[in-house]
Structure 1
Amino acid sequence: MNTTGRRVVTVVGLVTALAVAIAVLPGHRGWFDVGVYHGAVGHWVRGGDLYEWTTPNGYGFTYPPFAAASMLPMAALAWYPTIVANLLLTALAVVFLLHLLVDPLARRHGWSRWYALALACCLLAGLNPVRDTISFGQVNLLLVALVYVDLWLLERGSRLAGVGSGLAAAVKLTPAVFIGYLLVTGRWRAAATAIGTTVAATVVVAALAPDATRTFFTEAMWDTDRVGRLAYVSNQSLLGVVARLDPVHPDRRLWLMLVVAVVLLWATRVRRAMRAGDERSGFALTGVAACLVSPVTWVHHLVWLLPGLVVLAASTLPWPPVDAAARRRARVGIAGYAVLCSGLVWVFANGSAGLLGFVGANAYVWVSVGMLALLPAGRADAGEGHRGFTEHCGAVGATRAVVVDRQR
């Protein structure tokens, strides 16, 4: 069998194994979140209160009104077409992200592009956060793609950079951390564009739906009970860790101290990445920090770690790693990926007492902390593969920016 044939067999085998595993292993979420979107938006269109509608077990719409306005086409669709639309949009987001993040690696190292992208897609599908995002019918991967449109625009010197993060922040509050990234790294024009986009989207919807806007910003936004228990094992944020230490009275002061420590480390590392022209590490670090500092980071929100895994993998190339730092990152990356695939935290869904419970129930938080500390952020701590990766992407972006400038 020739090389192409072996690659086809490998991909088909991986896809089959993944399909069987996803079909038979427990954990399918029954499209629960897309059901919330569909029910709440339909109720709103029919004249009801957007934030009054709830599922039989009490869950309701938790996003800003702009998100509901973006989902209005759902009101015209029946249940199964809504699921299909969600899956198709998620698939498009994955295609964009893999093309943006993995394709440059394949081209730089002379790999078969279709084979590299197919393997990357299989690796992505094995991750617990990705499986949960798809089976919940969540919007997380769409938001990641929307923010990474800004990476694509920044690398090309586009004046539109910031629009993606602004729209994502108008849909959900967590991506607003990327506006913070633009500010911390001195990307003033892009930051102003992002803030302006968020404000404009919010104001337009506020003018059309003042009652829903008022309810969200004065009530729903501050009601953490709407999204579930902070101590629930799926909450893999710093506040989730603190809440599991004392579910009745979580120590908010401890949480704030941890958040401050994470923000200081993040700001230091993204500035270093920016000085080295390493935009991709800066974006990846910001996604990791967002998962840690957000009060609620459900397992499916951890798709924000995906770009960091790619950056970490790039820093270990060529394979096998030749220097000690790259080998350490390779071990951390493989271990982190294995933990994120494992669903380990769910073992402790019914209790996390003792040291083993504490470590296991917060396993994904430890992965996030490790990535924040060890992701390469500039030339000094990057492997040859990552340096070449960022230099290649930067060169392509600079060339295109010059072409665009000349065309103007």
Structure 2
Amino acid sequence: MFERRVVAAWAVFGGIAAASAALVWRRPDAQRLSDLHIYYGAAKFDGPLYDYVAENGGPFTYPPFAMVLFRPLSLLPEATLGVLWLAMTCAAVIAIARTVTRSSAATATVTVTSAVTSAVTSAVTGTATTAGTATTAGATTTAGATTTAGATTKAGAATKAGASAGGGGSVGSRFFTRGLVAAGVATALLVSAPVQSNLRFGQVSIFIVLLALVDAGQVVPARFRGILVGAAAAIKLTPLLFVVYFLVARRYKDAARAGAAFVACAGVAAVLMPGASVRYWGGTIFQTSRIGDLASLGNQSVHGMLLRIGLSPATLPVVWAVLIAAICGAALLRARALHLHGEPVRAAVLVGCATVAASPVSWTHHQVWTVLAAMLLVATEGAWRRAAGVVLLVVMTLSLGVVLRGVALYPGWQFLLENARSLGLIAVCVAGVGGAAMRLNRRTRFRTTRRIAVAALAGLAALALTPLPAGADPTFKAYSADDLTNPRYFYFTGTPAAGEPIAYKIRREKTKVRVNGVVGAEVAGLRYTSAPGGAARSIPLLEADAGVRTFSFRSASLAHGRLDVLDASGQVAASFTNLA
């Protein structure tokens, strides 16, 4: 029975992986594996590496060592490389899932992922299962013994998997249960937004997560620990925070090996690509604007959320530095406690979440760590933590800001929905992901946790009901005469109806709304306010054709916006508040 369930569970994973890859391949050429296309084009580029810009407008942004590794792959035809990359991404998902389930997270506690997989596979195989059969695998434990999930059980507690495995015994039961849970974790990870984003763009982020996880999680032999973290940091800088974690956790040899590996990889790149290395370390590393619009909803780092709040350029660096110091400090201390209690994989996931929070740029494909944290919460003790894990897993699979865009009643609610992943990430870094370290002084911790939860909920409720400033809509942009020929921005044709000062048409995209229209002769100006109480923004009136004046702008949402029409004296002649 267990054998059939495991095979069926992995068959479900394989089916979803094949469907995901097929959907990626069906995308238009310009949108298929667009980041992989940038890597490939940069590898073939004869000029300076950081002068390269792909047809889709994307530059190469990683350290030179990443290109040292990528150039051999560019010898393959791009289509062949694309297929190989999709396969390697799915293989990395499996490796990550197996690493997580070998930790204290998944084999002895009830998990949502295994329950979902069990239900699906039962339908496939025609067998019935219960939560106890699927998730309580393990040998009989005695008083005070700690199960593989790190949970202390009562005397005489016994698992049921021995009988359910058809006489396979406790070892076989644990093996098959672990395989079932690994398939469930892999499937849940595969359908999450970060992994789907890795597949869609052909991203390297999933491999960075794998390298850091197996290294910091002590999967590799002790004498090699730290090397993979150093190599990963030479490809993408964010894993450098793991070196700090090694020091905090007193893993000094691992920290030394990580630092040496990082320097060695950068040195290899400097020998092979001296010009690119000098340019990158001499200035390109600080040019975060090359990466894209950091205020867009895709950037769910703390920095991105602060940009969306609309802090002034002078205030933002100070607030960001203080928040990151507090968030990363809390995460590192909790990770050290987990390491000392023999849970290195949980500790690694927590530090990984801190890297996502600390980086100025954390696109969706960077956020695999947050999905892993959600799964660990689902698999830990305590109904509240499990519920929080389920909510976070949903948030990391669906974009609540997009799904519920039309439901939000206040700008604050919309802000919470759009930044749910940032807020969930912060909560994980501060509160941890469960584990043995969280079970000490349980009663005192419960009271403290309850008070913090109540205070946090009250704060979120207050924010949700508070009108946000117009600066909280960094998506806003009013287009100029230079954009007149772009049909994406200027698509409306027509004239205002009799008695109406303007006529316009709205186009909705996934993370923004566009408004394009024309104005009558009596209109002297337009201004737009994103939220009640916010500052108004001027919208230029452009001469499209003789006697025709047009305008175009974009906003994150029109639900609470107001468009004012101004007359020649600068007074408001008309207002439009129901643009949506």
User: Cα deviation per residue 1:317-339 (whole Å; 9 max; x = unaligned)?
Assistant: xxxxxxxxx10111000010011
Report the CA distance shift for 1:6/1:144 in structure 2 as closer, same or farther (over 3 A).
closer
Which amino acid in 2 is paired with 1:360? L
C-alpha contact 1:272 1:378 (8 A) present in aligned 2: no
Find the aligned partners of 1:87 and 1:13 in 2 and give their Cα distance: 17
Q: CA deviation at 1:90?
A: 1.8
Q: 2:36 aligns with which of 14, 34, 37?
A: 34
Find the aligned partners of 1:155 and 1:36 in 2 and give their Cα distance: 32
Q: CA deviation at 1:118?
A: 2.3
Q: Does 1:216 align with 2:280?
A: yes
Q: Does 1:137 align with 2:194?
A: no
User: Cα deviation per residue 1:173-212 (whole Å; 9 max; x = unaligned)?
Assistant: 0111111111111111110000000001101211221100
Report the CA distance shift for 1:382/1:337 in structure 2 as closer, same or farther (over 3 A).
farther
In structure 1, the residue corresponding to 2:412 is in which secondary structure?
A: helix
- Determine what percentage of the aligned residue pairs are the same residue: 28
In structure 2, the residue corresponding to 1:30 is in which secondary structure?
A: coil
1:182-331 map, 5 Å: 182-246=246-310, 249=313, 251-316=316-381, 326-331=382-387
User: Cα deviation per residue 1:47-105 (whole Å; 9 max; x = unaligned)?
Assistant: 31111011234320000000010101232122211112212322332222222221454
Find the aligned partners of 2:411 and 2:317 in 1 and give their Cα distance: 22
Which amino acid in 2 is paired with 1:305? T
Q: CA deviation at 1:21?
A: 8.2
Q: 1:167 aligns with which of 189, 206, 231?
A: 231
Which amino acid in 2 is paired with 1:48? G
Find the aligned partners of 1:89 and 1:24 in 2 and give their Cα distance: 17
Q: CA deviation at 1:106?
A: 3.9
In structure 1, the residue corresponding to 2:224 is in which secondary structure?
A: coil
Q: Which runs of 5+ in 2 are unaligned?
A: 109-136, 139-173, 441-580
Report the CA distance shift for 1:358/1:346 in structure 2 as closer, same or farther (over 3 A).
same
Q: CA deviation at 1:20?
A: 6.2
CA RMSD of aligned residues (A): 3.0
Report the CA distance shift for 1:270/1:238 in structure 2 as closer, same or farther (over 3 A).
same
C-alpha contact 2:353 2:425 (8 A) present in aligned 1: yes
Q: CA deviation at 1:345?
A: 4.0
Paired residue for 1:339? 395
Q: Which runs of 5+ in 1 are unaligned?
A: 317-325, 384-408
Report the CA distance shift for 1:314/1:6 in structure 2 as closer, same or farther (over 3 A).
closer
User: Cα deviation per residue 1:5-58 (whole Å; 9 max; x = unaligned)?
Assistant: 577667656765787689779x97521110110111111xxx311110112343
1:68-217 map, 5 Å: 68-103=67-102, 105-106=106-107, 109=138, 110=174, 111-151=176-216, 154=218, 158-217=222-281
Q: CA deviation at 1:124?
A: 1.1
* Highest RCO, 1 vs 2 (Cα 8 Å, sep ≥ 6): 1
Q: CA deviation at 1:380?
A: 4.4
Find the aligned partners of 2:8 and 2:263 in 1 and give their Cα distance: 50
Which amino acid in 1 is paired with 2:226? G
Larger radius of gyration: 2
Q: TM-score, structure 2 length as denominator?
A: 0.58
Paired residue for 1:362? 419
In structure 2, the residue corresponding to 1:234 is in which secondary structure?
A: coil
User: Cα deviation per residue 1:351-408 (whole Å; 9 max; x = unaligned)?
Assistant: x99212211111111121222233346534149xxxxxxxxxxxxxxxxxxxxxxxxx
C-alpha contact 1:315 1:382 (8 A) present in aligned 2: no
Which structure: greater helix fraction?
1
Find the aligned partners of 1:62 and 1:269 in 2 and give their Cα distance: 32
C-alpha contact 2:226 2:258 (8 A) present in aligned 1: yes
Which amino acid in 2 is paired with 1:266? A
Which amino acid in 1 is paired with 2:247? L
Bigger mean CA offset, 287-296 vs 6-15: 6-15
Paired residue for 1:375? 432
